[in-house]
């Protein structure tokens, strides 16, 4: 039997100082998000009369073209289905509801999908097993139900890896096909219905990314996605952004539409967890980014929800998990974004004559450390105390934990 109920007040805060660091101009710029992007609902009743007219005109012109019987992602574009309307509206929105431009974009996309054999792409084995879960992968959902796609190209800073994947044009094309395959898997998770989840979240890790070497691949990926997957991304989050990127962004920002800029979120190096927690629950965030999600978790069904908390600079927090019976086994996960603090765990029996048991000695956690996962079998009833000591830091940090208690099945 499992139990995960929290004690009435599991947190014991011991504050020794409360000094928050001043934000520099660069810090403010890197964590700035433009006005929140408002995703289309795709309800026809919410369209302007001119937009409804454009949708009908697009259908009429598509019907008269050679692509009249075409489908995308298993949806017939002229089948009268609301899913088809959602797809067509994406192409219209991408071209500001200009029917001729939207039809041209749609025609080119259909030609590309046929040539690329995109409809059956998710069934192919392209031989990039070592890149799955590292370079580009779908993992979990955000708080609004959008599937999340993670991208990290830092592994290609190693010359051998770079040559193996991008060494010649044939290898590059195979990688591009694999990268589109990852996106296709994400698109197939969408609802394509009014009021549903009709776009994904992209998280791009810029740490150690060899920009010069990956310029060709990056440009081709960007071009493929822009031309063939319109309005498929609700939010694009950049994490571990180098300091100089803020200068680059300030240069090209004036050339971006407000709609495009409102989808961008940029977070400087060391702030990945703080940023991602705003959009994604910790149990769905990969452990390398300050979350609790491991690649093998999916084998055990949906992730167990975690409790979020924060630790101010100069503060120590004790999480008390009470009501644990003798002979029970408690298993827990805990993480603090960008750790750089001390962590420990102890079990305190209820009996006054018993001694506290050190389960995990105080340990200085490095910024790169992933979530702690541990378990402890009790001999007698008591409580587990998880301590995180941030008294030597001035920075406020986000954190999360979860636990299960399995009672003993031994019959006395």
Tokens for 89? 């509206």
Q: Using an 8 Å Cβ cutoff, are 142 and 148 in contact?
A: yes
Residue with tokens 């998990």, as numbered in its chain: 321
Least confident stretch, 60-64, 105-109, 136-140, 262-266: 262-266
Least confident of 63-72, 164-173, 238-247, 368-377: 238-247
Q: Can you tell me the mean pLDDT for 142-153? A: 96
Over residues 292-297, mean pLDDT: 88
CB 120 within 8 A of CB 79: no
Least confident of 40-49, 290-299, 305-314: 290-299
User: Which domains are assigned to the chain?
Assistant: 35-116 (1.10.8), 124-269 (3.40.525.10), 307-407 (2.60.120.680)
Backbone angles phi, psi at 360, to 5 degrees: -135, 120
pLDDT digits (tens, 9 = 90+) for 347-372: 999 999 999 999 999 999 999 999 99
CA distance 93 to 198: 13
Residues 19, 23, 26: CA angle, nearest 5 degrees: 155
Are 214 and 264 in contact, with CB atoms under 8 Å apart?
Answer: no
Measured distance CA(399)–CA(31) in Å, rounded: 19
Q: Which residue has the tokens 């929800």?
A: 305
- Concatenating the DSSP letter of every residue in 293-343 gives B-GGGGGGSSPPP-EEEEE-TTEEEEEEEEEEPTT-EEEEEEEETT--EEE
pLDDT digit string, tens, across residues 185-233 = 999 999 999 999 999 999 999 898 877 767 778 888 888 998 999 999 9
Q: How far is CA 312 from CA 187, 241, 278, 359, in A?
A: 39, 24, 17, 25
**What pLDDT was estimated at residue 36?**
58
Cα separation, 59 vs 93, in Å, equals 15
- pLDDT for 412 beyond 50: no
Closest to 340 (Cα-Cα) out of 364, 376, 307: 364
Beta bridge pairs of residue 375: 331
Structure tokens at 160: 């051998």
pLDDT digits (tens, 9 = 90+) for 3-38: 444 444 577 766 443 333 334 333 334 444 444 567
Q: How confident is the model at residue 396 (pLDDT cuts 50, 70, 90)?
A: very high
Q: Which residues pair with 403 in a beta bridge?
A: 332
Please state, for a pLDDT cut of 90, what percent of the chain lies above it.
Answer: 67
Average pLDDT, the chain: 88
Q: How many CB atoms lie within 10 A of CB 351?
A: 11
- pTM, two decimals, is 0.87
Give the number of other CB atoms < 10 A from CB of residue 303. Answer: 18
| Cβ-count burial 137-170 (b if 16+ within 10 Å, e if not) | bbbbbbeeebbbbbbbbebbeeeeebeebbeeee
């Amino acid at each position: 039997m499992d139990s995960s109920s929290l004690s009435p007040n599991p947190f014991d805060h011991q504050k020794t100082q409360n000094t928050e660091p001043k934000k520099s101009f660069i810090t403010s710029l890197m964590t700035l998000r433009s006005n929140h992007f408002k995703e289309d609902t795709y309800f026809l009743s919410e369209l302007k009369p001119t937009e409804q007219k454009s949708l009908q005109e697009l259908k009429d012109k598509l019907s008269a073209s050679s692509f009249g019987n075409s489908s995308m992602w298993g949806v017939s574009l002229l089948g009268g289905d609301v899913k088809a309307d959602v797809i067509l509206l994406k192409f219209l929105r991408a071209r500001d509801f200009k029917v001729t431009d939207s039809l041209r974009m749609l025609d080119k996309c259909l030609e590309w999908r046929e040539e690329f054999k995109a409809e059956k792409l998710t069934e192919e084995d392209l031989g990039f097993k070592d890149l799955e879960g590292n370079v580009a992968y779908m993992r979990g959902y955000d708080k609004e139900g959008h599937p999340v796609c993670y991208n990290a190209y830092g592994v290609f800073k190693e010359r051998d890896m770079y040559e193996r994947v991008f060494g010649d044009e044939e290898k590059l094309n195979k990688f591009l096909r694999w990268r589109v395959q990852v996106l296709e898997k994400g698109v197939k998770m969408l609802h394509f219905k009014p009021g549903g989840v009709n776009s994904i979240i992209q998280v791009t890790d810029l740490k150690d990314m060899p920009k010069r070497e990956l310029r060709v691949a990056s440009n081709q990926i960007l071009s493929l996605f822009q031309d063939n997957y319109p309005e498929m991304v609700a939010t694009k989050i950049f994490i571990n952004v180098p300091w100089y990127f803020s200068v680059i962004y300030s240069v090209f920002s004036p050339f971006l539409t407000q709609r495009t800029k409102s989808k961008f979120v940029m977070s400087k190096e060391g702030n990945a967890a703080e940023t991602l927690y705003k959009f994604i629950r910790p149990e769905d965030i990969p452990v390398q980014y300050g979350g609790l999600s491991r690649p093998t978790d999916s084998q055990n069904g949906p992730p167990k929800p975690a409790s979020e908390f924060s630790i101010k600079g100069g503060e120590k927090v004790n999480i008390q998990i009470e009501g644990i019976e003798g002979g029970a086994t408690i298993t827990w996960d805990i993480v603090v974004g960008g750790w750089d603090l001390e962590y420990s765990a102890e079990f305190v029996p209820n009996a006054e004559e018993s001694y506290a048991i050190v389960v995990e000695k105080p340990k200085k956690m490095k910024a790169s450390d992933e979530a702690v996962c541990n378990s402890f079998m009790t001999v007698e009833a008591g409580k587990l105390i998880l301590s995180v000591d941030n008294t030597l830091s001035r920075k406020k940090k986000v954190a999360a934990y979860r636990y299960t208690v399995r009672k003993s099945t031994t019959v006395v």
